[in-house]
Amino acid sequence: MEELFVVILSLLLFAALIPLYLWKRRQDSRTPDENEEEHEVPRRETVVRATGARRMRRRPAAGASTSAAAASVEEIVDESDDEAAVGEAKASTKKEKKRQEREAQRQAEQAARDSRYSKQDKYAEMRRRKDEEREAKELMLEEEAKARKAREEEAAALEFERWKGDFSVDAEGTTESEVQDGSQDLLSNFVEYIKNHKCVPLEDLAAEFKLRTQECINRITSLESMGRLSGVMDDRGKYIYISQEEMKAVADYIKREGRVSISHLASKSNQFIDLEPKAQFVEEIGNVEEIAVCDGQDYDETPAAPPPEQDDCNGIFLSYTFMSRLKEYPHLKNASAQAWAFKAQAMVLNAGDEELNAWKMFIGFQHKEILVSASRAVLVDASDFPAAVGNGTYLVGSPTADLKTSIETAGDIDQISVKMEIIGTQFGVKPPGVPMPRTIRLENDGHKCPAPRVRGKSVMFVCCKRDPKYKAKKAKKTKFLPRQKGDLSFSYDVTQAYPGSYLAQVTIDNNHPLGRLDHWNLTWEWMRGEFIYTMRGAYTHRKDASACIYGRASQYYPDLDFSQVMNCEKKPIIADLPPYLANDTKVGKLPFCCRNGTILPKVMDESKAKSIFQLQVYKLPPDLNRTALNPPMKWSIEGVLNPQYKCAAPIRVDPTEFPDPSGLQATVSAIASWQVVCNITRPKVKQSRCCLSFSAYYNASVIPCNTCACGCKESDTCNQNARAMFLPPEALLVPFVNRTEKAKAWAKIKHFPVPSPLPCPDHCGVSINWHIDTDYRSGWTARITLFNWDEFAFEDWYTAIQMKKAFPGYEKAYSFNGTSLPDINNTIFFQGLKGLNFLMGETNGTKEYDPRVPGKQQSVISFSKKHTPGINIQKGDGFPTRVLFNGEECALPPEFPRPGNAGHDSRTNFLAVLFVAVMTFVLMTDRFHI
């Protein structure tokens, strides 16, 4: 069995080897050419032709077919074995074909890379040739430029030799002088002067070289054509030199930017063109240099050395040093009207052994000076710059208000002195004169200053010392400045402080015996970005949070509800609450609040001479700590028909003390307190808001209020300069528009002149008539009548009458409450009795065609001649010399009634006036239920 198995296995192996043998003989029987063709066929088939090209394939040769037929005859195997051998041959052929395709693709990629490298090499070669050509061209241009420059210099020398003889001095408008160091030096100086100054007024250039202006223009034009100068000649008579480097810088910028607008180029040209003079033109004024710069203001920043008297001063040393000035536009021939910008330096030095608190320096300017700025100082009235100080001004320190001694600071100059850089404008002093003040002095109490001394022309100094005769009042020792006295004072007290906010209370105190405020409006200016979140006892006229939402506040307080913010304005306007909100738990419940803005003098009611309100203030970075507290600045307050107050800057004072709100016998101190002092001032152009008319029993006419006593409008077609026409007594009861016909008729009766056009009205809201009613041997009487021509009423009104000769004889007022105030310039103070303290506004007449009726109050006043012997009523001794209504000073007529036309008729007319006034008052009282 085993032998049979071996035989069968051998046969099977032999049968398997037969196809291999036949395939090997068929391969060997092929010619070498046929093998090559068989390998090339797939390679040619993969070649890609252009679009539309014909694709061709090479067919096998006929010899190859014959050999294949011959080989098939020799096959001795059966048909199935032959088919298997053919399948294996096809598989091998397919693999070979794929390999050849990959090889062909690799060769194609290699050919593409070779082509790309070849193109790059050609571009690099071309670029190198172009660079060589450009360098050669630039070199040639440089050589040509050098040659051209040499030719131009040679031509310039020839041109100079040709016209240098023309560079001479004409006699017109100048004086002859010798040519300095030859024509060549003169030409060089001419060119260097222009180059060094950069911007040269042609008139100054002509004056410098003793030429006419037109000749300077011709010289500059010739020098520009020669290449010696380059620049611009403007229409203001100036030549601006611009170097070639500066022009090239501008041209390069335009090339670099491409498209540039004229405005943009003008703003950028300042970076390329330097207009600062290389050698400044200096004019000596005393020991100070005045520097003139084209179209600018440049000053000599080096002040004169301090005088040696400073070291010898044992007190307070003051100095004023004029440093420089510059002519301002417009340039005028009238020296007195020419404006000059000047710069000066003032100094206050504590050279004594006592600390100087709240220093105040007076500078007696006298040349219509206008201060534009003063570093480390403010004006004493806290007014803004620019400020007219032609009559002198007072400066106080800010922030350095106190000067310590050298002993306690080891000679620290910053703590014992303050230097103020002053810049302003002055008129009328032509160089070489120096505009110095007439005097300087220290205004602090207890110091005495001699007349100042002057060194040279520009330095003034004085040493002020303690007055040995001065006896200072013993004041309470305070850490801060003592409280000042004024007509009206504000106290700004911080009662609660937090890192980002604080609570403040503002107290307004009326200290003037005749001062008053009605419907007051208070305004100030925040300096650190603060805003008011809530208020009690007052409100702001504008409740708007837009400035906070669109400003820094919303960035720092992103979660704050700004709809509840009271005001975000930098200058809020604050007003008092009306009385019906006094007990409101949200905005009221404060003492001395909610009186509709009325603050009375202490003579009337001391409890109503004060007003209080509170506010919650939010702060902004960097003031985010409890002690970063800054009061508002530039305080101002005004009312209706009230005095005009001028307020100073806030000063830090000792914290205000309040009674403990719990009722215990204790005091609570504020965290920090500031005081603002205001005083009543009279404006330069006095335009009152009330006026006075005079009348007497011995003259039938009334002398009315002056024309435009309370101001006139420019649009008024009436005569603003004509004197007011005399009136009949009954005309005082009707408005001015209804007085015209009465005044003209009265003038016709009394043969008075009638101006054309007619005089303007007084435009006063309140008018007062003072009438001399009787005059006897033992005494006399007067009648005062108040007329309110405004629509609003005055509650708790008062009027003050100042009498010079008749004051000692005052006895009684019958319808008013009259008080004699001898300590206040012999003043009689009148106010309404209970039920008569309300001065009504103007109302309509009883019928439609009746004129409007003013509100009025009237009283008779009796005087005795016992204490005023020799008084002459008919010569004007019975008329007041000064009248105030609610604190506002009233305008007085320019003359008194003179004796004439006296008699019963005149008195009868005034009795009629009195009767009509009384009846009207009764009707109005019944109508308004007073």
Confidence of residue 921 (pLDDT cuts 50, 70, 90): very low
> What pLDDT score was predicted for residue 298?
41
Q: What is the mean pLDDT of residues 742-768?
A: 89
Between residues 49 and 515, which one has the greater pLDDT? 515
CATH code, 186-270: 1.10.10.10
Assigned fold of 310-466: Immunoglobulin-like (2.60.40)
Confidence of residue 12 (pLDDT cuts 50, 70, 90): confident
Treating both helix axes as pointing N-terminal to C-terminal, what angle do 182-197 and 213-226 enclose, rounded to 10 degrees? Answer: 90
Q: What is the mean pLDDT of residues 9-27?
A: 75
Percent of the chain topping pLDDT 90: 30
> Within 10 Å of residue 473's Cβ, how many Cβ atoms?
6
Residue 928: pLDDT over 70: no
> What pLDDT score was predicted for residue 501?
94
Q: What is the CA radius of gyration of the chain?
A: 53
Residue found under tokens 């020792």 = 477
Q: In terms of DSSP bridges, do strands 377-379 and 360-363 run parallel, antiparallel, or are they unpaired?
A: unpaired
> Which segment, 238-247, 381-390, 505-514, is predicted with the most confidence on average?
505-514
Q: What is the pLDDT of residues 367-378, one digit of tens each?
A: 999 999 888 887
Residue 901: pLDDT over 70: no
d(C-alpha 371, C-alpha 437), whole Å: 13
Residue 581: pLDDT over 70: yes
d(C-alpha 200, C-alpha 220), whole Å: 12
Among 163-167, 491-495, 502-506, which stretch is predicted with the lowest mean pLDDT?
Answer: 163-167
Residue 182: pLDDT over 70: no
DSSP letters for 116-183: HHHHHHHHHHHHHHHHHHHHHHHHHHHHHHHHHHHHHHHHHHHHHHHHGGG----STTS---PPSSHH
CATH code, 488-681: 2.60.40.290
Least Cα distance to 23 among 81, 95, 65, 80 occurs for 81
d(C-alpha 192, C-alpha 202), whole Å: 15
Give how far Cα 280 sits from Cα of 58, 296, 321, 881, Å: 99, 13, 22, 63
Check if the beta carbon of residue 652 is closer than 8 Å to that of residue 481. Answer: yes
> What pLDDT score was predicted for residue 64?
43
Q: Which tokens sit at 157?
A: 């020398």
CATH 2.40.50.140 describes domain 690-890: no
> Within 10 Å of residue 373's Cβ, how many Cβ atoms?
13
> What pLDDT score was predicted for residue 681?
85
> Within 10 Å of residue 9's Cβ, how many Cβ atoms?
10
> What pLDDT score was predicted for residue 276?
60
Distance of CA 399 to the CA centre of its chain: 20
Q: What is the pLDDT of residues 809-854, one digit of tens each?
A: 999 999 899 999 988 888 999 998 888 888 888 888 777 777 788 8
Residue found under tokens 């050669």 = 136
Q: Is 32 exposed, middle or buried (0-12, 13-18, 19+ CB in 10 A)?
A: exposed
Residue found under tokens 């009559």 = 391
d(C-alpha 399, C-alpha 834), whole Å: 51
> What pLDDT score was predicted for residue 74?
44
Q: What is the mean pLDDT of residues 609-634?
A: 90
Residue 909: pLDDT over 60: no
> What pLDDT score was predicted for residue 306?
66
Q: What is the mean pLDDT of residues 609-635?
A: 90
Start-end of CATH 2.60.40.290 domains in the chain: 310-466, 488-681, 690-890
Start-end of CATH 1.10.10.10 domains in the chain: 186-270
Average confidence score pLDDT of the chain? 80
> What pLDDT score was predicted for residue 827?
92
Residue 555: pLDDT over 80: yes
Amino acid at 574: I
